[in-house]
Amino acid sequence: MSEFRKAKRCSTCAVRRIAGNIGLRKSRRKATDVPRSPSSLKGPEKKPRGRRRQTAGPAIKFQVAQANETFSTEQDYLISVIINNFTPAQERSLVRAADGTAACLDSRVCGSWVTLLPEIVARSLVHPGVLQFAIRSLGYSILKKTPQALEAYGDTLRLLKSSLATAGEVSFEEILATILCLTLAEVLLGTEHNGWSAHTRGVCKLVQEKGPGAFKTGVLHQLFAGFRIFMLLGAIQQRKESFLDELAWKIEPFSSEPKSLMQGLLDEISGLPSLLQRLDIVSSSGREHQKEEIVALYKDFDTQMIRLEDWEANLKISTASRVLRWPVASSPDHEATFPISYEFANILVANTISHYWSFVLVIQISISTLLALSREKGADVACLLKQRATISPENRVALAKDICQSMRYHLQPETGLYGPAATLYPINIALQIFREDNKRKEVIWQCSSTHQPLPTLEELRGSLPPGASVVMVVTCCDPRVLPDQFLGGFGMKVSEVRNAGGRASEALRSIICVDHVLGVSAVIVIHHTDCGLTHLRNDFLHSSLTQKAPNNAAEIAKMDFLEILDLKASVIEDMKILKDSPYLRKDLKVYGYVYDIKTGKLQDVKE
């Protein structure tokens, strides 16, 4: 790892500087150039652009920072890609500190631990395959090479399972780093709704068994600090108490290292999962003493709210001479959904305050639920309504707007992936508030704010080089097939034509039109496993439609629904239709693939 420059200060000093000053002073170290990858790893050169993905979770917009220096191995290149996308430029020179230990600055919520990867890999035991495949999965996820990322993801899970069963074969820090990589890959790939929480539960069990004393110093402490927020967010989402609320877990892991702004906030909300669990039990219970439980729980939620308010007050006192956030005009349009946005002192402050707002909203929603429950059960909480003003619908909407007004700062190109990824939890809470309050305009803004504005047709034409580079993808209308996730390397522009089965005969008209307007350089035919047309047959559809419209029986009998008996054969048939068409150029490139829904792999089909 000689390619990485060494810093002239140790990681402990760097961490203390961030924690002591809340990261307000900028580093005077000049950021090093971003490494470059071999062309075989990088693929065709193209400009970074906003990413639009259809996933189970919310879409996030980001620009990928490519590596631009030659590396001896693919693993070194992918580690560089990960670090460049999850680390502020001024911190990349601290990837390896002068004392030989990795520097992990707790200066942001998401990905602060990635600078540890070079050292963990260098110290890995005889069997480094688990972490190696996890790095591949995360690196390829960032590069939008979804098939390779999914394949490495599956390999990692298989190796991790066998490694956990073999004591001593893989170090504990390797296991944690592996699961951290998989968690971030899951967030980027969105293969399953909240799939990242499964990894969080696994880490929680491993960390709890190890005990708080194991995370006082070194790499394990830095990994723990980097993953602590994921563990608590997972517990809040699952609404189950967390061991992280125990006093020992708040003190021992930080006995040798200072806490950052975010770590201090996590101390204050570590008891929230337990309160949510109790709320669910009370809501579904019919016990005799439920009224007393409602009153007791209300007091505890009230105490939790006061703790957060005290945290905010102490923050203002400790930073009295510094401005942490300030509003700026985001649009000259007075009718804009959010005419202002917030600027922050740094990304750590932005991450922390936006999460603080979201935690306050969760508590306010819970208190409102308790109030409704107390009225239903006849519990007397009149003397406890300290928070009535703060839990008003107007106040909740105001906090949700504050979260939205912090998005512009988080989505700046220079924040790579660590900015957008940190918005997922707060923006989801804000969206819940707007939906409950029927704020349609704000909901539309949230759904659209993660996407880049679309160019006009003339701008699109102007962006194409001579000879055209539009790639047409003919595929099924099945929503599980997402070509933009795995075809980024085929051309500058990808245009999809969808129909049942992804049949070329029905797509031919669209291809001809696009070719005449923009020019088409290639057509890609993709059929997929578990397709509806592999299960439906013409005879069945003829019979079913004839029952619905018996007067059209003769017309129905002539219909060909293009049933698929063999996937490879259907792809070859469609490729031939395109190549033989007299209305398309003879030099038009035509490719064919079968997409495996389960594995995400593309199988090349040749005529």
* Secondary structure element (H or E) that encloses residue 80, with its range: helix 74-86
| DSSP three-state, residue 10 | coil
Nearest to 178 by CA among 202, 148, 143, 195: 202
- Half-sphere exposure at residue 162, Cβ-oriented, CA atoms within 13 angstroms: 9
Q: Which of 399, 415, 448 is the last residue of a domain?
A: 448
- Distance of alpha carbon 504 from alpha carbon 502, whole angstroms: 7
The answer to whether residue 544 sits within a structural domain is: yes
CB-CB contact of 576 with 607 (8 Å): yes
- Distance of alpha carbon 469 from alpha carbon 335, whole angstroms: 39
The tokens for 247 are 């006093």
Same structural domain, 363 and 497: no
Nearest to 18 by CA among 115, 100, 84: 115
Q: Which of 249, 270, 291 is the last residue of a domain?
A: 270
Pairing of strands 520-528, 340-344: unpaired
CB-CB contact of 130 with 175 (8 Å): yes
Same structural domain, 264 and 340: no
| DSSP three-state, residue 451 | coil
Same structural domain, 109 and 230: yes
- Distance of alpha carbon 535 from alpha carbon 476, whole angstroms: 14
Residue 573's pLDDT is what? 95
Domain boundaries, position 490: 457-604
Residue pointed to by tokens 């602060």: 112
pLDDT tens-digit series, residues 280-307: 998 887 666 677 888 889 889 989 999 9
* Secondary structure element (H or E) that encloses residue 593, with its range: strand 589-595
Same structural domain, 127 and 255: yes
- Distance of alpha carbon 141 from alpha carbon 146, whole angstroms: 6
The answer to whether residue 247 sits within a structural domain is: yes
Residue 251's pLDDT is what? 96
Same structural domain, 296 and 412: yes
**Whole-number Cα distances in Å, 249 to 29, 65, 255, 264:** 34, 36, 10, 13
Residue 19's pLDDT is what? 34
Q: Which of 270, 285, 319 is the last residue of a domain?
A: 270
Same structural domain, 261 and 294: no
The answer to whether residue 3 sits within a structural domain is: no
Same structural domain, 263 and 281: no
CB-CB contact of 435 with 397 (8 Å): no
Residue 402's pLDDT is what? 94
Same structural domain, 430 and 462: no
The answer to whether residue 253 sits within a structural domain is: yes
The answer to whether residue 6 sits within a structural domain is: no
CATH number at residue 517: 3.40.1050.10
The answer to whether residue 2 sits within a structural domain is: no
Same structural domain, 463 and 476: yes
Domain tally, the chain: 3
The answer to whether residue 592 sits within a structural domain is: yes
pLDDT tens-digit series, residues 229-241: 989 999 999 999 9
Residue 338's pLDDT is what? 80
Q: Is 531 annotated as a binding residue?
A: yes
Residue 594's pLDDT is what? 92
Same structural domain, 362 and 292: yes
Name the phi and psi angles at 497, rounded to 5.
-120, 115
Residue 603's pLDDT is what? 87
Q: Which residues of the chain have pLDDT under 70?
A: 1-70, 90-107, 125-128, 167-170, 190-195, 286-289, 321, 331-336, 379-391, 438-469, 484-493
The share of the chain scoring above pLDDT 70, in percent, equals 72
pLDDT tens-digit series, residues 145-165: 888 888 899 889 888 888 777
The answer to whether residue 5 sits within a structural domain is: no
Q: pTM here?
A: 0.64
Residue 236's pLDDT is what? 94
Residue 421's pLDDT is what? 86
Q: Is 221 annotated as a binding residue?
A: no
Q: Is 528 annotated as a binding residue?
A: yes
Same structural domain, 58 and 203: yes
The tokens for 62 are 């980001």
Same structural domain, 480 and 582: yes
